[in-house]
Chain A
């Protein structure tokens, strides 16, 4: 009697939940005032009027939960774009989707549009970037390297536009814009938005999981096995753009979480989206929480933009992946 292939992955999912909870704990305990675990538990539920209570509830908890939400959202966007492009190297940052969203938000800042405009502008920029990527790469029979190259060139184009906008911006605004661009969670103190986006994205992605599994086999194969592939692609376009836009408008352009988290999970448990989706979200969320903890403590009292840390960690991992995937083909 064959066992269901996902059975052995359930214990892995349990371990990942522990990892994610552990990362939250580490983040809440660490900082200019370190708080031991026992005290943390007390402080989470009881207001004793102390400074520590205010540190936890007004600073660390909102920021940590924001990092958790944004990390999960980025990992989910990575999983979706990898299924859409059928390429494990796809990621909203590398393919210029984050860049498109960032240009739109910077443009809004430059024009002095109110803050409420930032998220819709980010969504429009992200969607435009994905559509542009496909329009440019889809002529004829598109393949892995062509899509990736097109995305990389698009990203370079967006970053040129970003430099252009920055050069036009008043000097007063520049430091804030730069910090936000590099990816920063310092101002992300309303965790309910990223957490809500994460929850909605997670539910929809889990519902799409069986179709996503078939999409990995190729559009024609998926269609032959009964997937409405065009509709699925539209869902992924919109959902991946929304997720990227949410992450960018909250925390700027944070790279490589969308690449590393799904890849780690594929190494551990294969490519079945019913495990990949929740697993990658847990890894991505945990990783960004830890990276942000490091970003605000490494050179304290100064803070690093968290995007710098994820990139420093992500670039070697990406190169390793690229090296490995080309090694396998030849």
Chain B
């Protein structure tokens, strides 16, 4: 039996005078991997932040595990959903290990002191993201790709049930993009948790996501299984640019004319 991790009913959302969605319905089940695609400025990041409870919606309901968003305390919510933001370098010196360890914050006790298990969890995620040996590096000296992997390690250390990711493949080389998305899929979708990620690369979205949300940017959207939605017609409509799909080695490739 599938349970809904995130349920959105009639969500209306706007920034300034721009309508992002008029009436969005969405249902993310345990074990699923969703991709959000859309043209520049369609409001993908704002929608992601709204779903995370960090930006107010105009109307509609957002429920996590059947419970309304505003019934959660910030700390409880951080145990249920995690967010990967687009990275910006910090102005303060701090080590990579400390930054990844910050992911344990929602799980800490009243004193806010990390237990040996918290330390082990952080060390394990640093290993899985290939950052071993950089634990004591100052985060200000990391490269863009290393910083992005550090953010992924922090999210994995947080262990939320639903991971909301804003362009997780940013700053990563093509090989690392595949490795990191596989890691995220293994940790969230395959363990009965779920993923929702904004992606720019349609090929990656088609390869890794079983569901898609196509956000047009004028209030229109399409949501559903990736197999049904990833058609040349839909993608041409979405980006207002002719697109064709090609199969190569079992993977779908897009060709923008």
Binding site for B on A (CB under 8 A): 1-5, 86-88, 144, 209-210, 213-214, 216-218, 220-221, 223-228, 266-267, 270-272, 274, 325, 328-329
Contact = CB atoms under 8 A, between A and B. Distances in A.
B140 A328 contact: yes
A271 B92 contact: yes
Interface string B68-88: 000001111111001101001
B54 A220 contact: yes
Contacts of B135: 2
Nearest to A227: B74
B102 A325 contact: no
Given A210-B112, A220-B54, A2 B97 contact: yes
B101 A5 contact: yes
Contacts of B92: 86, 88, 216, 266, 271
A259 to B, nearest CB: 14
A312 B98 CA distance: 35
A266 B93 contact: yes
Nearest to A213: B102
B18 to A, nearest CB: 16
Interface of B: 49, 52, 54, 73-79, 82-83, 85, 88-95, 97-99, 101-103, 105-106, 108, 112, 114, 116, 119-120, 122-123, 135, 140, 158
Nearest to B104: A225
A270 B93 CA distance: 6
A226 B106 contact: yes
Contacts of B119: 1-4
Contact of A220 (B49, B112, B122): B49
Nearest to A269: B93
A209 B110 CA distance: 12
Contacts of B101: 5
Given A2-B123, A328-B140, A224 B78 contact: yes
14 contacts: A1-B120, A2-B97, A4-B114, A5-B97, A5-B101, A144-B91, A217-B99, A220-B85, A223-B74, A225-B158, A226-B78, A226-B106, A227-B74, A271-B93
B75 to A, nearest CB: 4
A86 B91 contact: yes
A222 to B, nearest CB: 9
A224 B54 contact: yes
Contacts of B140: 328
Nearest to B121: A2
Contacts of B76: 226
B94 A271 contact: yes
Nearest to B97: A5
Contacts of A226: 73-79, 105-106
A274 B79 CA distance: 23
A144 B90 CA distance: 11
A225 B106 contact: yes
Contact of B90 (A1, A3, A4, A217): A217
A5 B103 contact: no
A210 B105 contact: yes
Contacts of B106: 225-226
A220 B85 CA distance: 8
Nearest to A85: B91
B94 A225 contact: no
Nearest to B52: A224
From A210, A223, A225, name the one whose CB has the most chain B CB atoms within 10 angstroms. A225
Contacts of A227: 74, 105
Contact of B91 (A5, A87, A220, A225): A87
B91 A88 contact: yes
A5 B95 contact: yes
From A88, A218, A224, A271, name the one whose CB has the most chain B CB atoms within 10 angstroms. A224
Contacts of B94: 216, 270-272
Contacts of A217: 90, 99, 102
A329 B140 CA distance: 9
Contacts of A2: 97, 119-120, 122-123, 135
Contacts of A1: 116, 119-120
B90 A209 contact: no
A235 to B, nearest CB: 15
Given A1-B116, A209-B112, A266-B93, A225 B103 contact: yes
Contacts of A214: 102, 105
